[in-house]
Amino acid sequence: MTSMTTRRPVVRRSGTLRTRRPDTLAVEEPLEIRVGGDPFTVTMRTPGHDVELALGFLVGEGTVRSPADVVSARHCPDAALDADGNPTHNVVEVVLGPTVVPPVRARHRMVTSACGVCGTESMDEVAARCPTDLAADPVTVDGDVLAGLPDRLRTAQRVFARTGGLHAAGLFSASGELLCAREDVGRHNAVDKVVGWALHQQALPLSGRILQVSGRASFELVQKAW
């Protein structure tokens, strides 16, 4: 697996003093997601938990709803090679069950780390893919617990502590217990990784749970949370 970080020389300035030293940077690389052997999409992401990312992405697309919908999900190490002929592990292939309707349209476009909207053309389309009645979830969250979630998530952001360059998503219980935390250069990727983890745990739908994300709550993050 490609590392989440890399070391690069940087020049630091303090007044007129300049020093050259290595620094730890966050990695961003493309990940191709294939469904049944066919290219589905490419997303720019930080390597790590790639299978979770692919599965979470397909959950957000409305293709996958339970672990039974997935026959297999794995890296394809021979599918993408670097300049030296070594596998990059930048391709994940998902094989769906025979009764699962595959994605209706090919998505041969790049999804950047700045925008993770899943091809949604209207809010009606989002609602059609999200039949769960959110009002049926009776959970309430204490104000002090809610206010403390960013700090609790921050303690789990180990790569951010080294680089200062990654977003994070954390899944919490209603009492504030951290259940899963994932980091990525893209906030939407971090959320997909959490959702993919929940799929593995057979925990969907995530009733009674809290999703804490770093940064703003943009459209695509609200969509994925729904």
Residues serving a catalytic function are 115
Alpha carbon of 196 to those of 54, 119, 123, 151: distances in Å? 7, 19, 23, 23
Q: Angle at CA 140, nearest 5°, toward 134 and 144? A: 135
Nearest CA among 221, 40, 122 for reference residue 55 = 40
3-state secondary structure of 161: helix
Tokens of 41: 């999409």
In which element (H, E) is residue 68 found? none
Strand partners, 22: 9
Residue at 8: amino acid letter: R
Which of 211, 95, 212 minimizes the C-alpha distance to 150?
A: 212
- Per the CB < 8 A criterion, the answer to whether 196 and 54 are in contact is yes
Angle at CA of residue 157, ends 27 and 211, nearest 5°: 110
Q: CA torsion, points 96, 30, 221, 191, in degrees to nearest 10? A: 70
